[in-house]
Structure 1
Amino acid sequence: MILPPEIVYEVLTFQFYDLMSNNHPSSPEKFYSNLRIFLRSNLTVNKTFYHICRVLLYRYLNFTSARGFNKLLESLRSSPEVLRYIEVADFQELTSIGLGRSGQMNKSIKNLTNETLWEFLSYTQRSLREFLASEHIQADLDERIIHFLLEPGTVLSVVDFCGCSHDSFTTRFSAAVEQLYSNDQPIAYNYQITALGLNDCTTITPKTLGRLLMTLPELQKLDLARTAIDDRTLISDIPHLKNLTHLSLAMCSQLTPRGVLEFFSYHPAVTDKDNISTLQWLNVQVHPHSSSWTDVQLMFLLKKLCHYGHNKTMQYLNIGGLPMHITDDTTAVKTTSYWQCQDTLHFIKINFPRLKSLSIKDNNITIPKLTHFLSPLQNEEVAPQHLKFLNIANNAYLNRWTIQDPAIFSHSKTLCALEMSFDPWQQIEASNAKHEITCRLSNSKSLIQDYSLSQLVKWRCYIGSAYGRRYWIYKTDKYLNREDLETRGFMTTYDTQGNKIIDIVKQPDFLKFAQTKIMLGCGIVGQSRFRRNQTYRDHKPPVSRFLNRDKALALSPAISPPQESPAFLPGGWRVIENQHNTDQESEDIAASEDEDEVGPASRNGLYWDRSLQNLQVVEPVETDSDYLNSPELQRRRSALCLFNGYSGSNQSPANRLKTETDIAKLLNSSNAQMADFYSTNSDLDDYSKIYRTHLVVATEYNVFGCVERGMYRYYSLKS
């Protein structure tokens, strides 16, 4: 049977992601080891497999050595047809020194220099979406290259200079930013870049930071952790970022509490209610010994986040080092924007319902207060919390003697990981040979606990040599955070035919909640198209890059042009007349989703209707990409019932999965009909749990991304 190319693409993409997420062997060379397995398995099947393997091979380029970069450059010179597939250039794991070579010797070899890097960028300027640099190549980033990465006119959407802090790099960076200006005015604005990373770029001056940010009005993710940004730059030079969802101001020593509070009180990037997006990821961590923050200022910051609606979308919040006001009075009073209470921890609990990752390190909070925070809410008017990760490192009340109390592990059903200091973590690791704690989940709604009916859970210690001095204990499960992570991958197994069985050993899923650096890119293979569409601002599906409407392999697919104008608000212009309109026009006005903005229809006018579809570009002729992205075609492809072929006694139309909305409703329901259905078809129970888990992970991926390689394994998780 010959499968259609788009089906082959989906199948190979899933296989490619599984192999690339394999965390064994634990060395940078595992990228090439896993890639070699994938190519040997699929490259020689047929022409379709070969073509799709090339697409997946060249889409994400990971460089671990200068020699590997030079080999790739030679292949690009001889095979220019693969240039359109290159989207990501990742230099995060590149090591310039090794095998007894010095830096001067590597410069003389010229495998990776500013000239070869410029040649690579000139080849890939029409297709490159992400450029992820690191401190190891900062000496090779000259003024010409930096200016190319920042200037408009390319499709580059993600630029990261993480760790580049050498004085020579700073000089070249400042000169490149100056080239973007003429007579103190930006020559042109870059509407394509949506993610900028300057983490640990400590020597870039605040003036240069401000001038650069003024040219990037469409930023969605901005990482300024450990930079020299000051209050004036934060308040005056950051433009109105109407799409901002991720912001990191961690460990910025020149920022004062007054400047940060003024930013969150008045700056339109976070206070304009007409912004397209609200904050989903925020890091304002400070050093507790040098910070001048008070608990009153922290409460003021949290209230401002609630006032402008960020608490309804916030999923990651890092307030490590900020002092908290802890009291036994947890009385809450409903106000216009939030529930008012005196206790900081309880305020976060009842006002941030979607929060999944919280860091409150460097705060001394008692075990009973932590237990109360993790317990389910008794107030039915407040949405329940879904916290999955909690950082309580450097807490004096959590030590080697109190860690034996299982209360902190048994009061939350959603919590999957805790981060703590070394002493209590070491006590758990030394307590038994399996390095685990076993307890049962308590039912806080009942005073009398029958632990024989409670769910048994296991918590295991975890540490990775690539993550710095950080210590976690996680709750094991069957799918995402397995308990056999330490033993899998070190034993070679074979099937009955003598073929080697490749065991995929993935990193624990909770690590994505533990990151302190924003995951800017889309990863090797994205788990959903939403993140790609938001980051690249490109709504063309990946399948259209090599297939045409005849389902044949496209030899020269069209590449999307760069964005040369700001993104429009969702909706469209609409003429609305006065109240003497016809009945049909009155019904159209009533059908508008945002009547408050239109107001009473007292006179004729042109209004912006957000209920209309956003039509930014009108294509006179339908292209292959538009055809493959056609809603009608997608609707026909998704007309699939997962339960076809099963004869359940209570199988009804409500149990047939036809759209993603129906899937979510069905998997989240807990009525007796579903319980009876799964009891009749017990073999579907595991598949339902797997798919429900997949939906949750795909949704979390939109905000957190995934900790895969390079600096997202080091910079994002280092202490």
Structure 2
Amino acid sequence: MASPTTATGTSPSSNSKPILPRFTIPCGDHFHSRDSSPSSCDTPDGSRSSSRRRPSFGSIKEDADDDIAQSFVDTHHAPSPKEPCKPAHREMQPSPDFCCPCGGFLGWKQIRLGGKSLSRSYGDLRNIGNMQAKGWAWEDTETGRELMPPQAPAVVELSQPPPGTSALEKLPPEVLDQIISNLALDLPPNGYTPRNVDLISCLLTSHTLHAATLGVLYRNMTFPHSIIFSKALNHMSQYPALGTLVRRLDFSHFTSVGLGRTKQMNAEIQNLTSRTLLKCLDLLPNLKECLLQEHLEGDLSVEVIRKLFMGLPNLRAVDFCGCSTQAFSQVFTEALSAGPPFAHDTIPAPMFDQLLSRLINLTHLDLTHTQVNDSALAAIPETARISHLGLSRCTRLRSSALIEFLTTHPAVCDSLVYLNLLNDPTRFRLLEEEDVSALLPKLPSTLRSMNLGGAKVTSEHVSLLIPLTKHLHELGLSSAELSVKDVNSFFAKDENAAPSTLCYLDLAKVPQMTIGAIFNTSSCLLLSEQSYPLQVIEFSDKIITPLRERAKTQRVSVGWTVRDLGRRGWYVRDPASLPNEPLDDGYRYWKMGARWWGMRKIPMAVGDVGGIYGHYMFKK
């Protein structure tokens, strides 16, 4: 079984307990609920300055310091301890044009001449260095009188306000919470350096700031390795009230790589096991988001799964990214197939039918590479309002049933914002030519990102695609049978029609897209100013490799640069090539914190993309 993702709400039955609003299983899928509130975003790299940086397996994150889209930070250089630190360059400060004796001046006779004898008079010092003509800097050369040294400014002591009455402490709690949230770092720092030191300082400032900071510090808990998890669990066990503050449990960056341990050692240490994970969940009654992943699938027991789905009434999102082993599949199936609330005569037998039929408030559903079938999609309640739907590589779906679901089901027909139907046509093709013709005219205008990669898209569909380019920001057409003229029609200027809104276009494995065709400016509009706001074009490695070599030998920049990561490569427009256009940092509300283009994994929580989630979202 691959990874699904969804969001759920409460069961129609009055006696049943609420089920999570967002959910993800093995290959990077999630669930999301429309009533979930966005959490504060972190800094892009979540780290403080450190001389050592530890690379993490599969760790991907966005680079906020580069204005060019698709700027990735994959691994970090750790300087050798033997590398000397370069001293900071310090400029020589020019000597002042004027100086005067300080207030502690003891008199002319207290100054030594040549280090041996004391001066006998002011004249002795005046004669040193042949300074007769110029005089001293503090002496009036016209009158010969000594200038009085400036008086030291009077020190005015400001009265300190009584404890708890400062202007900062008098702010409303919600305003103070927003201010302190800017200091929080949810993403783990580089290496093992302390994180959130600014929040720790706020804890020690005053009683008012201590109370406000605790909520921010424990709201989103991120665990990069088991040691931090064990310390947090012990602390919350000692002070259970802290567990009520936790809203997100984030294991997206979790790894044991770099700790110098074997798998057997990790099992013996027992820092993070199914038992300790269940104990942690028992301490978090207000948990809303639980972000798990494949490195933890051995610690997900039946009890943990049932706790997530049936024991946490406020839970709105669950992510099981990359969990695809047979052991996980058995645990997951066992947990959701027996006992309440799923033991009901009217609920179908298959697991997805049982699960999806209970998600009455579903908003985000990622079932990428799973065995979901037609009946499971049809079982989604009509009360759901799905905005993000991922059905990539779902080989059990029939095209006719999928089109009927997308065009008629109340849960999706007027609410979709993100739709991913990517497939590898050499293995499985979900949509044939007639299926594409039936689907495109009925897609809602709310759609902002659509991936039809692998579908049988031909020149006959161009007239159906052009209206979509007036509101889509992302369009995936990999393996499409389109000509350069077809692609140009997306950016054709028409006074009677709205301009294209495409910022990202996937043309990987499109046969007629060659190096010669792309750079033929007289016949191809892709790299021209007319294609703006297009920022990112995804190509296959067959195109990216020569583009990279071309950039090395070409003296004059064409305004585009190559970016690649893992199996994927992009040709990215340099913002400097269009200085009169506003800078677009890639932020869109439906990306839930991500800024890169072409994401293939639906995020389940609002925040910066990193760790293994970034790997599945942009690298695979």
Give the structure-2-normalised TM-score.
Answer: 0.64
1:322 corresponds to 2:455: yes
Alignment partner of 2:393 out of 251, 256, 280:
251
Check 1:249–1:435 CA distance in 2 against 1; reply closer, same or farther (3 A cut).
farther
Q: Structure 1 CA distance, aligned partners of 2:321 and 2:330?
A: 16
Cross-structure match for 1:374: 491
CA contact (8 A) 1:20 1:34 kept: no
1:278 corresponds to 2:420: no
- Aligned residues between the structures: 436
Amino acid at match of 1:2: A
Alignment partner of 1:148 out of 291, 303, 307:
307
SS where residue 133 of structure 1 aligns?
A: strand
Q: Structure 2 CA distance, aligned partners of 1:51 and 1:400?
A: 60
Q: What displacement does 1:370 show?
A: 1.8
The RMSD of aligned alpha carbons is 3.2
Cross-structure match for 2:609: 708
Cross-structure match for 1:209: 352
Cα deviation, 1:596-635, whole Å, max 9, x if unaligned, reads xxxxxxxxxxxxxxxxxxxxxxxxxxxxxxxxxxxxxxxx
Amino acid at match of 2:296: I
Alignment partner of 1:521 out of 602, 605, 609:
605
Q: What displacement does 1:145 show?
A: 1.1
Alignment partner of 1:54 out of 185, 210, 214:
214
Q: Structure 2 CA distance, aligned partners of 1:208 and 1:55?
A: 37
Q: What displacement does 1:414 show?
A: 1.4
1:344 corresponds to 2:487: no
SS where residue 404 of structure 2 aligns?
A: helix
CA contact (8 A) 1:388 1:417 kept: yes
Cα deviation, 1:292-328, whole Å, max 9, x if unaligned, reads 63222111011232xxxx1x100110110101120xx
Check 1:71–1:361 CA distance in 2 against 1; reply closer, same or farther (3 A cut).
same
Cross-structure match for 1:384: 499
Cross-structure match for 1:398: 513
CA contact (8 A) 1:206 1:228 kept: no
Cross-structure match for 1:294: 432
Check 1:161–1:292 CA distance in 2 against 1; reply closer, same or farther (3 A cut).
closer
Check 1:99–1:37 CA distance in 2 against 1; reply closer, same or farther (3 A cut).
closer
Check 1:718–1:182 CA distance in 2 against 1; reply closer, same or farther (3 A cut).
closer
SS where residue 350 of structure 2 aligns?
A: helix
Amino acid at match of 1:257: S
Check 1:39–1:270 CA distance in 2 against 1; reply closer, same or farther (3 A cut).
closer
Amino acid at match of 1:713: G
Alignment partner of 2:473 out of 349, 352, 356:
356
Q: What displacement does 1:177 show?
A: 1.0
SS where residue 408 of structure 1 aligns?
A: coil
Alignment partner of 1:11 out of 158, 179, 186:
179
Amino acid at match of 2:403: L
Q: What displacement does 1:38 show?
A: 3.8
SS where residue 501 of structure 2 aligns?
A: coil
Q: Structure 1 CA distance, aligned partners of 2:594 and 2:230?
A: 36
Cross-structure match for 1:445: none
Query: Counterparts in 2 of 1:254-653, with a 5 A limit?
Result: 254-271=396-413, 278-289=415-426, 290-291=428-429, 293-305=431-443, 310=444, 312-326=445-459, 343-351=460-468, 353-376=470-493, 378-380=494-496, 382-405=497-520, 407-410=525-528, 411-433=530-552, 438-439=557-558, 458-464=559-565, 468-477=566-575, 511-523=595-607
Q: Structure 2 CA distance, aligned partners of 1:437 and 1:210?
A: 58
Amino acid at match of 2:536: A
Residue identity (%): 27
Amino acid at match of 1:216: L
Cross-structure match for 1:2: 167
SS where residue 463 of structure 1 aligns?
A: strand
1:163 corresponds to 2:308: no
SS where residue 35 of structure 1 aligns?
A: coil
SS where residue 455 of structure 2 aligns?
A: coil
Cα deviation, 1:263-312, whole Å, max 9, x if unaligned, reads 234434335xxxxx61111111222122163222111011232xxxx1x1
* Greater Rg by CA: 2
Cross-structure match for 2:368: 225
Cα deviation, 1:420-467, whole Å, max 9, x if unaligned, reads 12232233322345999845xxxxxxxxxxxxxxxxxx3222234xxx
Q: What displacement does 1:2 show?
A: 2.1
Moved more, 29-38 or 82-91: 29-38
Q: Structure 2 CA distance, aligned partners of 1:390 and 1:437?
A: 25
CA contact (8 A) 1:244 1:269 kept: yes
CA contact (8 A) 1:91 1:132 kept: yes
Q: What displacement does 1:144 show?
A: 1.2
CA contact (8 A) 2:370 2:394 kept: yes
Q: Structure 2 CA distance, aligned partners of 1:510 and 1:401?
A: 33
Q: Structure 2 CA distance, aligned partners of 1:155 and 1:434?
A: 57
Q: Structure 2 CA distance, aligned partners of 1:41 and 1:349?
A: 55
Amino acid at match of 1:248: G
Amino acid at match of 2:321: C
Cα deviation, 1:352-371, whole Å, max 9, x if unaligned, reads 53211111112243333222
Cross-structure match for 1:106: 266
SS where residue 93 of structure 1 aligns?
A: coil
Q: What displacement does 1:390 show?
A: 1.0
Q: Structure 2 CA distance, aligned partners of 1:461 and 1:316?
A: 22
CA contact (8 A) 1:240 1:268 kept: yes
Q: What displacement does 1:119 show?
A: 0.7
Q: What displacement does 1:344 show?
A: 1.8
Check 1:13–1:259 CA distance in 2 against 1; reply closer, same or farther (3 A cut).
same
CA contact (8 A) 2:353 2:375 kept: no
Amino acid at match of 2:490: F
Q: What displacement does 1:515 show?
A: 0.4
Q: Structure 1 CA distance, aligned partners of 2:212 and 2:252?
A: 26
Larger helix share, 1 or 2: 1
Give the structure-1-normalised TM-score.
Answer: 0.56
Amino acid at match of 1:459: W
Which has the bigger relative contact order, CA under 8 A and spacing at least 6? 2
Q: What displacement does 1:713 show?
A: 0.6
Amino acid at match of 1:147: R
Q: Structure 1 CA distance, aligned partners of 2:595 and 2:603?
A: 12
Cross-structure match for 1:538: none
Check 1:510–1:363 CA distance in 2 against 1; reply closer, same or farther (3 A cut).
farther
Amino acid at match of 2:178: E
Cα deviation, 1:34-62, whole Å, max 9, x if unaligned, reads 83454477555544444443332221111
Q: Structure 2 CA distance, aligned partners of 1:361 and 1:226?
A: 18
Cross-structure match for 2:377: 234
SS where residue 575 of structure 2 aligns?
A: coil
Cα deviation, 1:165-222, whole Å, max 9, x if unaligned, reads 22122112112112234653479xxxxxxxxxxxxxxxxx981111111121111111
Amino acid at match of 2:545: Q
Amino acid at match of 2:247: E
Check 1:462–1:44 CA distance in 2 against 1; reply closer, same or farther (3 A cut).
farther
SS where residue 384 of structure 2 aligns?
A: coil
